[in-house]
Every structure is written in C-alpha cells, then in structure tokens.
Amino acid sequence: MTRTVDFIGVGIGPFNLSIAALSHQIEGLSCRFFDERQHFAWHPGMLVPDCHMQTVFLKDLVSAVAPTSPYSFVNYLVKRKKFYRFLTTELRTVSRDEFSDYLRWAAEGMNNLHFNHAVESVDFDEKRQLFVVQTSQGESVARNICLGIGKQPHLPPCVKAVTQTCFHASEMSLRQPDLGGKRVTIVGGGQSGADLFLNALRGEWGDAAEISWVSRRNNFNALDEAAFANEYFTPEYVSGFVGLNESARQKMLDEQKMTSDGITADSLLTIYRELYHRFEVLGQPRNTRLLPSRSVYRAGKPRPELATTAGASSG
C-alpha cells in the first residue's frame, strides 16, 4: 500500500526548495518533492556575465525563519571555504552564478527531493480526503500539496514562434548566439533586458552592428529599494494584505510594481557609464538605440538581425 505523507511539492524551484529545506526543522513531518528534470537547475539560460541578484543574500532559502539551518547561505559560504573572502568583498548582493551554485548545493544535501519524476496527474480522493499524485515513477498520496511549477516564458503576441533569431531571454546562455555584425533588438525594460543589453554592448556574444533596447514604460525605471518599500515583503504586511478584497489587492500590486520589475541602480549606472565612455569619451560610432514608450506589434525579418525578447512582463 502506498504510504501517505504529510506534504507533496510539485516542482523544485526556489520556493519549494525553501519549503523542503525548512521541513527538515520540523520533527515528524514527512514530505516529498517531485520535478521532471534530471537535476536541480535555476534559470540556466539566464546566467549571463556580470548579473547580480536584486535582493540581499540573507534572503536565502531559510534564514528569515530558521537562521541556524544547515541550508543557509552563510553555511554555504562556510562549507565552500570562502566565508572570510566573501566578507572582504563587502557584497550586499551576490551574482546570479553564485546564488545558483548555492541553490544547487542546498538541493544536493536534501533527501526529500525526487528528480526525474514527471507529475502526470493530481487528483483529490473525496472518500479518503487525500491528494493522489501520479508521477512517471509511480503513485504518491499526501494530506497536503503545494504547486511550485514557476512561470512560463512570455512572448509578445506578434511573436508566433521561437526561432534561431527570435527567442526568449531565458534561453540566452544556452543558445550562445553569434551576434557579430548583426542588428539586435532587446524587448523588455526590466532587469533581464538590462542584463542582456549590457552584455550585448560589451560584445559578450560578438560585436553587434546595432543594438536597440525597447520598453513599453516611459523610461528605464529603477528598482524601488526604499526602506519603506521593503516593508511590503515583511510577514506583518503580508498578513494585512491578504485580508483586502481583490480590487484593493490589485490596486496595491500595481502601485508596488517597481519593487520587483525595476532595474537595480547599479545596473542602470553601469549601462549609462558604459555608453558615456564609448560615445562621449572614445567617440565611437553610436550603434545603440534606447527606445522607451514603445510596444512591439510586429516581428519580422526584412534584413539579417536577431531579436531577443526579455518578456512583456518586464516592461
């Protein structure tokens, strides 16, 4: 007979990985987490050079709830034998490469994660009041279930299909396209768009003939990191927020959009300085176009060029 567990998580990304890590602190709790992938990987296609997290490193998998957990970022630094060198860097935020390595390290230390288990169906047994989860490796039964399957890449409606020359930002590092001599368009005015624009400008994938950066917003807006804005992410605020009606919650979310969808001040300043040095100091030909207040309605290929979409949700 299939053993009933307290909890099943579908998908193993940062959110369910956090729950899996915290579950080790709860004596007697039985849980399993399933993912169709062969091993843990966190946005591997978006690990481009000089790309940093937007949040402080203490906002890891566990520290806000269980700071003494063995799955904390600080313990990761100790186990990787780089704690003191990390302190010397005086970093407040870490690179996406390092945070990805931290998440992978944490996943490798947990025994309740089951990869290569594609979830095929989730049903609720009314008689037993239990969830029945069918995976490619068999059936599991649980009293509770948590879906952590993440978001799907969003493309503008005019992009009918992903091609070799038109694709989502989440594939950039996997594709490693040759942009040398090509006209490149980056769509999306959020952090992903900024990271791709800076790397394309620096010739990470070859020296492009022209680079255009398009955003629906009126400017390339900074991330709202003000002290009171960060209160939105505290348990006290969340407990009040969930008590609001739907229209009030949506209004609040619209007002708070730049706390998640903006670009870090460091990234904006780095891009601005790069443009200034190239065009005002070195006098190089201006081969970049920053195009806010634009929406993409048609995507074609009249001439050789490559368009990378950072996602309409990024602005």
Question: Where is average pLDDT lowest: 160-169, 197-206, 227-236, 303-312?
Answer: 303-312
The pLDDT value given to residue 312: 43
- In this predicted model, which residue has the larger pLDDT, 118 or 314? 118
pLDDT digits (tens, 9 = 90+) for 206-251: 999 999 999 999 999 999 999 999 999 999 999 999 999 999 999 9
| 4-147 and 166-221+262-314 share one fold | yes
The pLDDT value given to residue 307: 53
Which architecture characterizes domain 166-221+262-314 according to CATH?
3-Layer(bba) Sandwich (3.50)
- φ, ψ of residue 286 in degrees (nearest 5): -80, 105
The pLDDT value given to residue 280: 97
pLDDT digits (tens, 9 = 90+) for 121-162: 999 999 999 999 999 999 999 999 999 998 888 888 888 888
Tell me, what amino acid is at 33?
F
CA 45 – CA 176 distance, rounded (Å): 9
- Asked if 151 and 290 count as a contact pair (C-beta separation under 8 A), the reply is no
* Strand runs labelled E in the chain: 4-10, 31-34, 113-114, 119-125, 130-135, 138-147, 166-168, 183-187, 210-214, 288-291, 305-309
Tokens of 269: 């300043």
Q: Which of 122, 80, 113, 118 is nearest to 13 (CA)?
A: 113
Which H helix or E strand runs over 198? helix 191-201
Query: Is the model's pLDDT at 5 over the cut of 60?
Result: yes
pLDDT digits (tens, 9 = 90+) for 253-282: 999 999 999 999 999 999 999 999 999 999
**Where in the chain are the domains?**
4-147, 166-221+262-314, 232-258
Other C-beta atoms lying within 10 Å of the C-beta of residue 222:
15
CA 180 – CA 183 distance, rounded (Å): 9
The CATH superfamily of 4-147 is: FAD/NAD(P)-binding domain (3.50.50.60)
CA 112 – CA 7 distance, rounded (Å): 11
The pLDDT value given to residue 299: 82
pLDDT digits (tens, 9 = 90+) for 52-73: 999 999 999 999 999 999 999 9
Residue 6, burial from CB neighbour count under 10 angstroms (0-12, 13-18, 19+): middle
3-class DSSP assignment, residue 173? helix
Residue percentage of the chain with pLDDT more than 70: 95
